[in-house]
């Protein structure tokens, strides 16, 4: 059995889709305390913080899987939007640009710690302003790194992709699946 240290429905669905048995447990970690603007350093620090929070709250009786995702475009670290105006600004930063989605995934069991930082790059067409406003009004952007949903709103604007979709969705399953399927 595996403990998914995340409240993300998308991460849980990815595990379900790949037939991984798990229990889902939210692990509280305040990402606001992370000072770096470097995307790789940020996702690493956030994932390690989540791992430590899970171990403290639940122990390490089960292997633990945690992840964090950030978005970057035009040299800016694009975090979760605070409100609709912030979401609009974050999405306009990505419109017509290459956007990188970085995910740090950490899997830990007693004798192994696997850390993967992967990136998926999307070249987006310019977002239609009316479509963007409908998306903003839907509130689907809430809680999403970079207010971006490559499986939703942004999908129709993708011109090219380099990397794995699972990374962009918040869990680089292809990288860790062999380790998850080992007897634990």
Return the C-alpha torsion angle 173, 53, 83, 88, nearest 10: -30
Q: Which of 17, 30, 61, 68 is catalytic?
A: 68
DSSP labels, 45-73: HHHHHHHHHHHHHH-SSS-EEEEEEEEEE
User: Is 121 a residue of the active site?
Assistant: no
Backbone dihedral angles phi then psi of residue 34, each to the nearest 5 degrees: -80, 120
How far apart (Å, rounded) are the C-alpha atoms in residues 118 and 167?
Answer: 7
Segments in 18-142 forming alpha helices (H)? 39-58, 84-94, 129-138
* DSSP run (H or E) holding 13: helix 9-17
Active-site positions read 68
């Amino acid at each position: 059995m595996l403990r998914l240290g995340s409240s993300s429905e998308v991460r849980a669905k990815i595990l379900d889709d790949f037939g991984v048995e798990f229990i889902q447990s939210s692990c509280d970690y305040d990402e606001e305390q992370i000072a770096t603007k470097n995307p790789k350093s940020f996702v690493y620090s956030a994932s390690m913080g989540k791992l430590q929070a899970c171990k403290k709250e639940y122990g390490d009786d089960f292997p633990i899987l945690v992840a964090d995702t950030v978005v970057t475009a035009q040299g800016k670290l694009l975090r979760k939007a605070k409100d609709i105006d912030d979401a609009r600004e974050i999405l306009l930063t990505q419109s017509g640009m290459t956007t990188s989605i970085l995910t740090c995934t950490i899997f830990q069991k007693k004798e192994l710690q696997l850390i993967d930082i992967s990136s998926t790059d999307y070249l987006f067409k310019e977002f239609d302003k009316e479509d963007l406003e409908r998306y903003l009004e839907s509130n689907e952007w809430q809680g999403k790194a970079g207010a971006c949903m490559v499986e939703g709103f942004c999908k129709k604007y993708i011109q090219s992709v380099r990397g794995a979709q699972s990374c962009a969705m918040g869990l680089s399953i292809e990288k860790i699946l062999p380790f998850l399927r080992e007897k634990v």
